[in-house]
Structure 1
């Protein structure tokens, strides 16, 4: 890969049902910057997108239920729920509350209200409209 130094060592690859809508949500909810998109051959679905947010990158693609077999990836809404949470480490407790509020305003649902934890952090979780869980964490001031 010619641009291997550009890629982070770990990149979550999110499968969604509704790629274009997911990108719009991530822009609104998280201030995401869409770096690249590749449409699928059907002209409707998203084959691939690279999205920058919170100082990192995630990859996003539409679900392709016609592909089956080992390693086939399904959107959480088709798979019965998420199997991971995306953890976002922020600088301050106030940023946790602001990130959750912004996500909720964009259409996410709070699944764990932000609270001060026993590990001395402010922590809370939301679920986006595409079934992915985003956890926000910051040290207490």
Structure 2
């Protein structure tokens, strides 16, 4: 087993960010979710990110700029059926931090019938995130 596999067990989300905004996405994920940048690899001219590896609450997140020349010129498309979940001890604090960083509300944060404080946000790059944690009062 390689070091890469052992350092990222399970399934790791890998996001493609459109419009050359991967660097902006990294800044957003740092501000919104407390991400830590592990590595960043640029294309030869330094204009786009070929690969970046972040960690958020101990979990891996990979991302890159969209390279239309690698997919027949097709534009970047955000998957409509994917939600990235962030489990935290304080959903309200995580929620506020994400909104302050530029996320928008998709499904309001509230105590849910299944026993969790939960809501969904859309990041400035179109990706959907859910935040969950213990119920409050």
Same fold (TM over 0.5): yes
Cα deviation 1:57-108 (Å, max 9, x = unaligned) = 1001111112226xx89342xxxx63301011223xxx11111110110111
Unaligned runs of 5+ in 1: none
Query: Following TM superposition, where does structure 1 have runs of at least 4 consecutive aligned residues deviating by more than 4 angstroms?
Result: none
Contact conserved, 2:91 with 2:134, CA < 8 A, in 1?
A: no
Q: Which residue of 2 aligns with 1:83?
A: 81
- Structure 2, unpaired ranges of 5+: none
Q: Is 1:6 equivalent to 2:4 in the alignment? A: no
In 2: Cα distance, 1:139 partner to 1:97 partner: 10
Compute the TM-score of the two structures, normalised by the length of structure 2: 0.87
Name the residue aligned to 1:65.
68
Q: 1:131: Cα distance to partner?
A: 0.6
Instruction: Give the whole-Å Cα distance in 1 for the aligned partners of 2:135 and 2:75.
Output: 37
Equivalent pairs counted in the alignment come to 132
Asked if 2 retains the 8 angstrom alpha-carbon contact of 1:75 and 1:130, the reply is no
The residue number in structure 2 matching 1:97 is 92
- TM-score, scaled to structure 1: 0.85
The root-mean-square deviation of aligned C-alpha atoms, in Å, is 1.9
Aligned residue in 1 for 2:130: 135
